[in-house]
């Protein structure tokens, strides 16, 4: 199942005891939508952080003893979901399908503006960096992240992660990006990054590093050194605010699915 959501009201995807989460809201809606005796188990492909959005979160839903067509499940689920979460697509897949392990690649977008007069309806979806930024330098630095590296300098609390090596397929800055969110036209700059997987807050730290390059605090050579010599621990960037980040899509090999999510 593919979900989209506005993450502003939620403390991330993962369930939390004292705070609202997207996962809990999704399961609450599923309970209302299904017959009372129906047992189910759900797992999401990506643990988005608090206030982060998704256009293509993928959730595996295991249902027992329920003969329901995907289109009907999507319909009744959307009737019970809160206004800021939507089921976009529902398909049947194989019983052995693993929503996390089988993911081929993920893409994130980070929408931002520079010294802009931000409109009220833009605030939940873009971050406005007030200092003057050199976009060309930022774009040059973004290309350095393409490849397989030890990203321990771009991970939150990397000392608690056993493997910080990740592979990035594409990383680019888009100067003029436009997104249509159900009639709301978002015009901004964007960081687009696609890879096999990402560490906790990795995209936001990369974004924060690019901002530091743009304002002259960090050099392109420092970024290169942080990737080529990760053992020389150096945090170059800050963790960029969450609300500019979108989980854009997750792709899977076709053999596991009836159709692409």
- Residues annotated as catalytic are 49
Burial class (CB in 10 A: 0-12, 13-18, 19+), 215: middle
Tokens 């047992």 correspond to what residue?
39
The answer to whether the beta carbons of residues 153 and 166 sit under 8 Å apart is no
Q: Which of 80, 207, 65, 213 is nearest to 138 (CA)?
A: 213
Q: Which of 20, 7, 23, 3 is nearest to 245 (CA)?
A: 7
Classify residue 51 as left (phi > 0), alpha (psi -120 to 50) or beta. Answer: left
């Amino acid at each position: 199942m593919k979900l989209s959501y506005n993450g502003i009201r939620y403390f991330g995807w993962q369930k939390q005891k004292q705070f609202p989460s997207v996962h809990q809201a999704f399961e609450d809606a599923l309970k209302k939508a299904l017959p009372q005796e129906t047992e189910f188990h759900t797992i999401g492909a990506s643990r988005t952080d608090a206030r982060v959005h998704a256009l293509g979160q993928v959730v595996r839903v295991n249902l027992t003893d329920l003969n329901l067509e995907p289109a009907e499940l999507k319909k009744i689920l959307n009737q019970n979901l809160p206004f800021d979460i939507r089921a976009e697509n529902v398909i049947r897949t194989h019983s052995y399908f693993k929503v996390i392990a089988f993911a081929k690649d993920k893409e994130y977008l980070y929408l931002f503006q520079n010294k802009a007069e931000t409109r009220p309806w833009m605030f939940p979806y873009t971050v406005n960096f007030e200092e003057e930024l050199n976009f060309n330098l930022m774009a040059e630095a973004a290309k350095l992240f393409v490849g397989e590296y030890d990203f321990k300098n771009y991970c939150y609390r990397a000392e608690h992660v056993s493997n910080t090596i990740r592979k990035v397929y594409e990383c680019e800055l888009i100067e003029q990006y436009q997104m249509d969110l159900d009639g709301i036209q978002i015009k901004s700059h964007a960081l687009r990054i696609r890879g096999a997987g990402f560490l906790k807050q990795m995209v936001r730290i990369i974004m924060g590093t690019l901002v530091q390059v743009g304002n002259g605090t960090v050099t392109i050579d420092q970024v290169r050194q942080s990737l080529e010599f990760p053992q020389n621990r150096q945090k170059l960037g800050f963790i960029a605010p969450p609300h500019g980040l979108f989980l854009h899509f997750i792709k899977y090999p076709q053999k596991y699915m009836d159709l692409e999510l």
